[in-house]
């Protein structure tokens, strides 16, 4: 891909997210557009490469020395555990394809990605430690001082992972090395990176962002996005493929619909098989392109329960953005 790497950052209510993308410098991009037209939008890859996965951090990623690092499971447990990195990676591991989305993501935004995470399920670790009957929350604490929590029942559901691998390699530093939590179905704030402690507590523990007024439950809302064609594209007929993805956490996606007239009429798109029960799902629609003019394309999805994505627009704060992704294209004769 032609272009120069640069880092872009978005700060919403104190929540900072950043990603690395390849894009031409503005002046050069303008020249290319004049010569060749607007570049074709790219399809989303099913598995996001590690160097393209969005990066979030409470502070700058901490430098963790393996010789000094360990993971403790403590608090309201009968048998506290402390694992070195070698002991953690030596345990029986599983892999899960899970989509993570930042709570600060906007409708149609880029703070979302999917990886194959490898590591140790949290449930057997808590069982080994012996969580006590009065336990309520499980708190994840990080090397940079960040913390968040989930209910004990959620932690014991079997799908929460203490990951030490990402897409077949050890976790990159920017994604939580040496170990991080992966909590499917919840915004990425719950999947705490650079783990040092897992503490079982008797009360409802409010994490860093919950203390600032953001959601404590952090359940992912249903979202959908049009990837191709891109907003502002000029297209020609007679048939054009519209494609993108939809995501509803662990609820899954049952239906995706496309409107090519600004939401007046809706047609079902074709769904690809899901990558997993906790990942995005791709869709496509073969559009018989009408005559010349500007057209508004809109997408909406229904989750696995049949509940249709809301069209009510809401900013990310305090519990995730909502609304429908809409683009405008120009049809030429």
In a structure prediction context, what are the per-residue pLDDT tens digits for the chain, which is 333 residues long?
222 222 223 333 333 333 222 223 333 333 333 333 445 677 899 999 999 999 987 777 898 999 999 999 999 999 999 999 999 999 999 999 999 999 999 999 999 999 999 999 999 999 999 999 999 999 999 999 999 999 999 999 999 999 999 999 999 999 999 999 999 999 999 999 999 999 999 999 999 999 999 999 999 999 999 999 999 999 998 999 999 999 999 999 999 999 999 999 999 999 999 999 999 999 999 999 999 999 999 999 999 999 999 999 999 999 999 999 999 999 998
**Domain count of the chain?**
2
pLDDT in the model for residue 41: 72
pLDDT in the model for residue 40: 62
Task: Answer with the one of 211, 243, 272 that is the final residue of a domain.
Answer: 211
Same domain, 226 and 259: yes
Task: Answer with the one of 211, 239, 271 that is the final residue of a domain.
Answer: 211
Same domain, 118 and 265: no
Same domain, 55 and 203: yes
Is residue 174 a part of any domain in this protein? Answer: yes
pLDDT in the model for residue 22: 27
Same domain, 92 and 193: yes
pLDDT in tens, 211-220: 999 999 999 9
pLDDT in the model for residue 333: 82
Name the residue among 258, 290, 260 with its Cα closest to residue 271: 258
pLDDT in the model for residue 18: 32
Same domain, 99 and 201: yes
pLDDT in the model for residue 42: 79
**Residue 174's CATH number:** 3.90.420.10
pLDDT in the model for residue 314: 98
pLDDT in the model for residue 34: 39
Same domain, 141 and 54: yes
Is residue 38 a part of any domain in this protein? Answer: no
Same domain, 278 and 172: no
pLDDT in the model for residue 8: 28
């Amino acid at each position: 891909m032609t272009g120069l790497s640069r880092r872009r950052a978005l700060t919403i209510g104190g929540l900072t997210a950043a990603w690395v993308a390849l894009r031409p410098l503005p002046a050069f991009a303008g020249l290319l557009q004049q010569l060749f037209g607007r570049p074709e939008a790219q399809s989303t890859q099913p598995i996001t490469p590690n160097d393209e996965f969005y990066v979030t951090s409470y502070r700058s990623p901490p430098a963790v020395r393996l010789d000094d690092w360990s993971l403790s499971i403590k608090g309201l447990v009968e048998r506290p555990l402390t694992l070195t990195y070698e002991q953690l990676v030596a345990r029986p591991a599983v892999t899960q394809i899970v989509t993570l989305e930042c709570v600060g993501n906007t409708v149609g935004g880029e703070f979302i990605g999917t990886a194959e995470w490898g590591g140790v399920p949290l449930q057997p670790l808590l069982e080994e430690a012996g969580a006590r009957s009065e336990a309520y929350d499980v708190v994840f604490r990080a090397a940079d001082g960040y913390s968040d929590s989930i209910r004990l029942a959620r932690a014991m559901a079997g799908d929460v992972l203490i990951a030490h691998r990402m897409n077949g390699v050890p976790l990159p530093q920017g994604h939580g090395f040496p170990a991080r939590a992966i909590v499917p179905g919840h915004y990425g704030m719950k999947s705490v990176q650079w783990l040092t402690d897992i503490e079982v507590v008797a009360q409802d523990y409010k994490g860093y962002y919950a203390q600032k007024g953001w959601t404590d439950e952090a359940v992912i809302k249903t979202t959908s996005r049009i990837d191709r064609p891109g907003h502002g594209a000029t297209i020609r007929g007679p048939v054009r493929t519209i494609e993108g993805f939809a995501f509803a956490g662990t609820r899954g996606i049952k239906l995706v619909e496309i409107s090519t007239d600004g939401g007046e009429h809706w047609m079902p798109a074709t769904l690809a098989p899901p990558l997993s029960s906790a990942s995005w799902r791709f869709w496509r629609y073969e559009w018989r392109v009408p005559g010349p003019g500007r057209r508004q394309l809109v997408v909406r999805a229904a989750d696995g329960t049949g509940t249709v994505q809301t069209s009510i627009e809401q900013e990310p704060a305090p519990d995730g953005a909502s609304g429908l992704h809409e683009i405008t294209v120009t049809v030429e004769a």
